[in-house]
Structure 1
């Protein structure tokens, strides 16, 4: 019997679920935040995901609800569950992707490796943490924030005065998350998928390169990761998925430190930028797998189709050109590259698409991927 998956959020992650759904004979129905969004091909309407009645009306027309992002408020999520609508991931899991303080506390309870951290409500508390950690630390807002937003390195308590002021003006209390400034060798990401019935599969751990807080490149698998790093990364992600009750895709962003530890940085309970390479480079893409998982279907194998894959994000430039405008040159010069447009209006720093190249030699793969992506810069 055909199933309909309802996706709340009309961004590029919802858009990239559409081809996988078509191949599986699954119907995708998207509740977009506004007209003209990336996933408009599958959007049945536009609505405010903060509004309980709007989301309930949408959810009653589908078989299962999932998400393009983690921002749907807890009261809305719990209203869906109370209505008996399957929600994957559920509110009890999403809580830890929505609030970084709760996430750090829960991961610490589970004995998982995280940076040294504290909840700070005042500049004085932040000053104590700075004194105890060499005079520098990372401060994060507990809620919101992505692609480097809501994160800053501080050297004095006054560096976060505006955030403390905002908390005070909000009137609901609250705290900021402060963490040790991790001395890391590189950043990694580990993806797993988990069915409601409990089965879990994992992809190879990947290396991610961030620029200005935005993921710029992903290499799969992470070079020199075979053995301990790969095993440790997978074990961490599996323990998180089971410990938090995640269903669907889970991406765990990691630090590989200079003293050979692997620490958890952030979590995403949905398809993730670090897994876009899997569309072209894995037997089962993260988008197909997410659909399988939320429908509690058997999960696909996650091996690589070629020894190496590199994904590069394409960021919008100031001239307003789209990816399609420059396809001819890029495709002619780099015929091994695969191009993925998000059909978004271009603006500086905005992710408007990505390029992936797969092959047997990492240097050649990197040359072709970077060369192809360069046609869309500026």
Structure 2
């Protein structure tokens, strides 16, 4: 999708891909299949590149520093990207900046988890006591690398420590809903903010995104956008930044996660914004003027298509397109696996209930869980 956004600008892409079957490898002309964790592979790949960017955060930080030392522009740079790679680093830096977040600290084992839960309980501090959320500091996504510990004797408390990697403990926030503030920043400091969206999660996976977030007070929306813009500035982010937020029942906004790349919570912008997150990411990485992030319609709903038992895909397309001529379908060319994100749909209009129903129907029909 980033490649698609670059085509009208005549931008040529070179792709380092894990396999020739990856989504981008099916459309980009120049593909190198290799391991992004191998520095020699990265250096060979970088030859002839004007700038390097990413569609995930897992390239080792020290490798990116080596590429920069070789004179290759990396955007976002390793000093920014590490905050999306390492949850411990991210939490420490946001604390320095005074950015509100769930109560947290690095823990060393189940006894330390129990101690973290007990801290502040006597004073009634927010977020004290069980349950506690444990996260591996690197590598987790879509609910992977995350455990919820219900009590001091919960055997699951030992699971995260078996891998021998640092573990972050956080309070389990009693939130009203999840939001996302998406912003884009260029090397010379220009930045734009998209409308704040509501992100509906099912079993730890994003199911639906509503733009803009319904019934979000204007002052809260502005706080979320300003927080995201400040984080992008303070961390030196270049490109797209998604700040995932908890909106608590008492109206606070707490930062949950950061992502420095085009993000699932911004997929609605392909059809619902004047300039998509992908187009603005490309512009930022190349230090071009950024595009207008405003909504085209009063409401846009993105619904993820998750892997299931597919009926005939051609028949599914026929039904969905005939039922809703305004529907926009975006499939990724991925092998279908249960629960895997294999595509998304975007629907827009001026009636939120209608837009939500149309998006849910299309995503469910493409998955095979809704039959006409």
User: Structure 2: how far apart are the matches of 1:226 and 1:160?
Assistant: 38
Q: 1:137 aligns with which of 128, 132, 139?
A: 132
Runs of 4+ in structure 1 over 6 Å off: none
Match of 1:348 in 2: 338
User: Structure 2: how far apart are the matches of 1:325 and 1:39?
Assistant: 25
Q: Is contact 1:322–1:345 with CA below 8 Å preserved after alignment?
A: no
**2:68 equivalent to 1:77:** no
1:226 deviates by: 4.2
Match of 2:190 in 1: 199
Match of 1:11 in 2: none
Unaligned runs of 5+ in 2: 120-127
1:177 deviates by: 0.6
What is the correspondence of 1:299-310 to structure 2 with a 5 Å cutoff? 299-310=290-301
User: CA 1:323 to 1:208, structure 2 compared with 1: closer, same or farther past 3 Å?
Assistant: farther
Match of 1:58 in 2: 45
Match of 1:370 in 2: 360
1:135 deviates by: 2.3
**2:144 equivalent to 1:149:** yes
Q: 1:247 aligns with which of 232, 235, 238?
A: 238
1:49 deviates by: 0.4
User: Structure 2: how far apart are the matches of 1:102 and 1:45?
Assistant: 31
1:325 deviates by: 5.2
Q: Is contact 1:334–1:371 with CA below 8 Å preserved after alignment?
A: no
User: Structure 2: how far apart are the matches of 1:334 and 1:71?
Assistant: 38
User: Structure 2: how far apart are the matches of 1:295 and 1:254?
Assistant: 28
Q: 1:49 aligns with which of 36, 45, 50?
A: 36
Equivalenced residues, count: 356
Once the two structures are superposed, what CA deviation does each residue of 1:178-236 show, in whole Å capped at 9, x if it has no partner?
Answer: 11111100000000000011111000000000001100000000011241111110011
Match of 1:34 in 2: 19
Q: 1:214 aligns with which of 193, 205, 213?
A: 205
- Partner of 2:176, secondary structure, is strand
**2:171 equivalent to 1:161:** no
User: CA 1:97 to 1:323, structure 2 compared with 1: closer, same or farther past 3 Å?
Assistant: farther
Q: Is contact 1:218–1:277 with CA below 8 Å preserved after alignment?
A: yes
Q: CA RMSD in A?
A: 1.3
1:81 deviates by: 0.2
Q: 2:326 aligns with which of 336, 354, 360?
A: 336
What is the correspondence of 1:94-105 to structure 2 with a 5 Å cutoff? 94-105=81-92
User: Structure 2: how far apart are the matches of 1:126 and 1:344?
Assistant: 38
1:372 deviates by: 1.4
